[in-house]
Amino acid sequence: MSNQPGGQTAAQSDRPETGDPVDRTTTAPDTPGDDGTPDPNPASADPPGTDEATPAEQPARAPGTPALALLAVAWLAAMLWSTREAISSAAAGVTAVSLSAFALPGVISAALVTGAAVGLVAGEAVTRRRDRATLRFAVAVGAGLLVGLAAALAINLSYADNTTTRTIAGTTAAAAIIGGALAGARNGAVVGAVASAALGTLIFVVAFSVARDPLFDLFGAGDSQQSLVTAATWVSRTESLLAGLLAGGLAFGYLSWARRRAARGGATGPGLRWPAYLVAGAGPGLLLLLAEVIIRVGGRSLIDLAAALSEADAVAQTSLGTSRVDNGIWVLFVGALTALLTFGRTLAPAPDDDDPEPAPADDSTTSTAGR
């Protein structure tokens, strides 16, 4: 048909339009169900009121927590057994009060780490599917309480029944409960990194005793008092430096393990940032300083009793307390810097702003040119 005047097409185009124009913006619903029909895929919508976090919102999980808890419990048992053997040894040549004061820091540090490790296992178990901060904290504290009660019971049954034993038992139970409370933090991967690095640091400090005598000779320890003090200072600094490097390396390795596990599990969130590595590296030093606070508060009566035995015991207790504080500070800063710098070396370089970015392809132009 032609468009000549009088033709059929022209006559149809001259007719006035009747009725309301059709609003094309309302004829096609944007989403299923907008036109009154039921949603064909109701499972795609999230149910109202759900509190379950998506994988991207879930905090990083702590891998290997059962093995970490078993190692921490074994270390606490070893510390309790060695303390009992030292106190009950008749060949020691010193009083049980002095030996108890010397052994108290090792027991308290082990109880603090064990409470954190066992509390982490319990907290991860109850929040595996849903992120419930209050429930996690309560369960972690309860697990630390169980560890503290078990350790206190073992001390009361195996040690002599006296004031010294009750002080060690009460302080150990308090340290385990505080460790469980620390495990109630929301980010389980950071807590696991702190606990594993702290446990490795405690084991290293005990193993380092084999190298103390050779290092004393290396740093010029002689017959004079001044040379002995100087050599002891350098030995202590060497131990603290190596412990801090080990703590930072273990913390970084644990968080890297947790990140790889989360990636294999399909997590799409931003992942662990640099503050997590900083806190994890500094965590072992913070636990050592926290253990020192527990010792000076809960075990104050035992420390004062040991210091009152003689002037030499008083000087020894003061010197050991100062050395423990210095060691905790060294481990804190060296561990934090080690973990942070190691994490920084794994980051990819940022893209150069001067490099031209490729222009995005225009689909309409490409399709038109191909016609």
- How high is the mean pLDDT of the chain? 78
Task: Give residue-wise pLDDT tens across range 48-80.
Answer: 444 444 444 456 678 888 999 999 999 999 999
Task: Give residue-wise pLDDT tens across range 94-112.
Answer: 577 788 888 899 999 999 9
pLDDT at residue 130, rounded to an integer: 65
pLDDT of residue 170 exceeding 50? yes
State how far the Cα of 342 lies from the Cα of 324, in Å rounded to an integer. Answer: 26
pLDDT at residue 355, rounded to an integer: 53
pLDDT band at 225 (very low <50, low <70, confident <90, very high): confident
Domain boundaries, the chain: 65-262+274-345
For residue 10, the tally of other CB atoms under 10 A from its CB is 13
User: pLDDT: is 247 or 365 the higher one?
Assistant: 247
Q: Could you give the angle at the alpha carbon of 159 between the alpha carbons of 157 and 163, nearest 5°?
A: 105
What percent of the chain is predicted at pLDDT more than 90? Answer: 39
Task: Give residue-wise pLDDT tens across range 275-329.
Answer: 889 999 999 999 999 999 999 999 888 888 888 888 888 888 888 889 899 999 9
For residue 122, the tally of other CB atoms under 10 A from its CB is 23
What's the average model confidence in pLDDT over 199-224? 86
What percent of the chain is predicted at pLDDT more than 70? Answer: 73
Minimal CA–CA distance to 291: which of 172, 140, 168? 172
Token representation of residue 68: 């970490």
